[in-house]
Amino acid sequence: MTKIAILGANGRLGRVVAKAFIDAGFDVRAVTRTGKVPAELKGATAVAGDALDRQSLIRATQGVDIVFNGLNPIYTDWGKCLPMAENVMAACRANNAPHLFPGTVYNYGSPMPRVITEETPFHPTTEKGRIRCAMEELFRREADAGRVRTILLRAGDFFGGTGSGSWFDLVVAAKMSKGNLHRPRSGRPRA
């Protein structure tokens, strides 16, 4: 059975991703600072691991096949993002495991390009955008050196904070329990 470590399993995105992997039959290791996880992650193995402590994170992920990086400090603590990303890369190297990462659109800056493709250049205009670009540059260097492969899914918004309230919750996923997934339109006039 494939073993996946979910870093940040107490966060909204981490919880949802962990639950999806549990439901898909993976051996899920839910990594949190405290080693405690929400009740909805029944079936996951709870493990304590601090992303700001490299050895702690390596121990918490020992023996996994995949590392999902759902770590996201509160916005006022984003200075922790790059040190955490460096420790995640160390954990992935120690396990020879691929890295799954939810990317953002902060990298593109403001104003946001109308169309974004894989070739759209980054032009961060905020500190958060510059930090995300630095993280992705780290991931690129690790991949180019043949050490860690990162699989990045970029979206405009994931799940934020606790509870519901992001545009994803309110628009896209509002009727998922009924089998409906809504794709919002941009609101821009069509040419």
Inside any domain, residue 188: no
Inside any domain, residue 187: no
Inside any domain, residue 189: no
Inside any domain, residue 184: no
pTM equals 0.82
User: Could you tell me the pLDDT band of residue 90, with boundaries at 50, 70 and 90?
Assistant: very high
Amino acid occupying residue 186:
S
Q: Which residues of 151-169 are buried (b: 16+ CB within 10 A; e: fewer)?
A: eeeeeeebbbeeeeebebb
Inside any domain, residue 70: yes
- The CATH number given to whatever domain includes residue 33 is 3.40.50.720
Work out the number of other CB atoms within 10 angstroms of the CB of residue 30.
29
Which H/E stretch holds residue 46?
A: strand 45-48
Number of domains in the chain: 1
Q: Please, are residues 115 and 82 in contact by the beta-carbon 8 Å criterion? A: no
Range of the domain at 164: 3-178
Q: Which residues contact 141 (CB under 8 A, 6 or more apart)?
A: none
pLDDT tens per residue, range 134-148: 999 999 999 999 999
pLDDT tens per residue, range 4-31: 999 999 998 899 999 999 999 999 999 9
Inside any domain, residue 186: no
